Structure formats: C-alpha cells, structure tokens
Amino acid sequence: MSETEIDMSRRSFFSTLLRKTADFAVRVADAQITEQEQNWIRPPFALDEAHFLSACTRCDACMQACPHGTINILSSRRGLRVAGTPVLDLLNNACHLCADWPCVAACEPGALKLPPREEEKPQPLPQLAEVRIDTQTCLPYSGPECGACASSCPVPGALIWNQCKPYIVPQLCVGCALCRETCIVEPKAVLVRSQYKMVTEKPALLEARD
C-alpha cells in the first residue's frame, strides 16, 4: 500500500469522517468566537475568549466586586453562548485599574486570572482595549484650549502633550478609558474599541446598559 493511496477500510472512513467533522466544527466555533469577541471588551486578565467562555460560570461575582460599576453582563440577545458573561462598559465607565484587582480576586473559576508574576516586579497591566483620540471633536485640535484629560492617565507616558494637544501612545496605552471619562466634549473625543477589532470592520459595538 503506497503512501498516497487512500485507506478505504470502513474503520478509516468513519474515523476520518469524525475527525474532519470535529475539525470543521471547531474551526467554525473559533471563527465565530473571533468575530464575536470584537464586539465587546472583557474584564482585566480574562483568558482568551474560547477558554474564558468555558471557564466563566456566569456568577456575576466580578460585577459585584467592581467598585466603579464598570463591569456589565451581556444580555441573551447576544446569543446564548455569551449570555450572562461579564464585559467592560468602557463607553460609560472607565476601568480604574484597581491596585488589588477585586474583579480578578472575585473570580473563583479562574476565567479572570492574574498571570504568574516575577518576584520584586510590579504586576504588569492588562491590555483592555484600543483607545484613540478623535481629532475632529477633541477641542485643542480645532482651536480652543482644553486639557481636561491631562491628569487622568494612570499609565506614565501613555497620554502625552505636544503643543497643547493630547496624543495617545499606543505602545503604552492599556485602554482603561479614564481619559474618555474625564473628556468634557459631547460626544466624547476619545474613541474606545476592542483590541481585536479589524480595521475595516464596522464601529465597535459595546453592550449598552440594559
């Protein structure tokens, strides 16, 4: 029997059929998850979306633990698979990057999990979202002085000022949206979207408060 020859045995047929079907199902599920996860922003230190979905027990403990009301629950309209899972409501409330991470500490099943940390080194910050400044609405870009967001950024060097205009350094910004919270322009001049968002996609949809 040469290597290219197909094994026509019944056992092989069924096992190949099963494997291919399973592979296909996993790929479809992965693609769906990848596409879906662009639509929301998970709480800090969430596992990757597939593992997160299987680990999260929809217990709401992280939402209860958040002192700033930043964590919301996805409604069943988003599909049964994700219904009841927590997301960050960064369009309305910023993540304050609490020092002791109460939401992570509250997560018993470990869907939110601090990565192993080297001794003597501070906990690295989680990457939450992609944030950028809308130069069409940000005041200093069109003339008037502002500076409302100047002292809002908790990450040194992530929000810098050049000629009275704010700039976000994408390499340093973790996407906590505190600058969006202090922004005084309506609609806000700081845009937030999922870090998994494809550039050409529709604007980010975040679960609104129910």
* Residue 157 in the binding site for other proteins (CB under 8 A): no
In the complex, minimum distance from the CB of residue 152 to other proteins, in angstroms, rounded to a whole number = 6
Q: Check residue 164 for interaction with other proteins (CB under 8 A).
A: yes
Residue among 67, 41, 54 at smallest CA distance from 109: 54
Q: Which is nearer to other proteins, 103 or 178 (CB)?
A: 178
Contact with other proteins (CB under 8 A): which of 145, 162, 199, 200? 145
Return the H-helix or E-strand segment holding 15. Answer: helix 10-37
Q: Which stretch binds other proteins (CB under 8 A): 63-71, 79-87, 144-152, 193-201?
A: 144-152
Instruction: Tell me if 144 contacts other proteins by CB under 8 A.
Output: yes
CA 134/CA 96 separation, integer angstroms: 22
DSSP state of 112: B
Check binding of 146 to other proteins (CB under 8 A).
yes
The residue among 120 and 186 lying less far from other proteins, judged by its C-beta, is 186
Q: Does 150 bind other proteins (CB under 8 A)?
A: yes
Residue 53 to residue 135: CA distance in whole angstroms: 36
171-200 residues in contact with other proteins (CB under 8 A) are 182, 184, 186
Do 175 and 128 form a contact (C-beta atoms < 8 A)? yes
Q: Is 116 in the site for other proteins (CB under 8 A)?
A: no
Nearest to 110 by CA among 38, 54, 40, 175: 54
Select from 169, 138, 135, 140 the least CA-distant residue to 155: 169
Binding site for other proteins (CB under 8 A): 143-148, 150-152, 164, 182, 184, 186
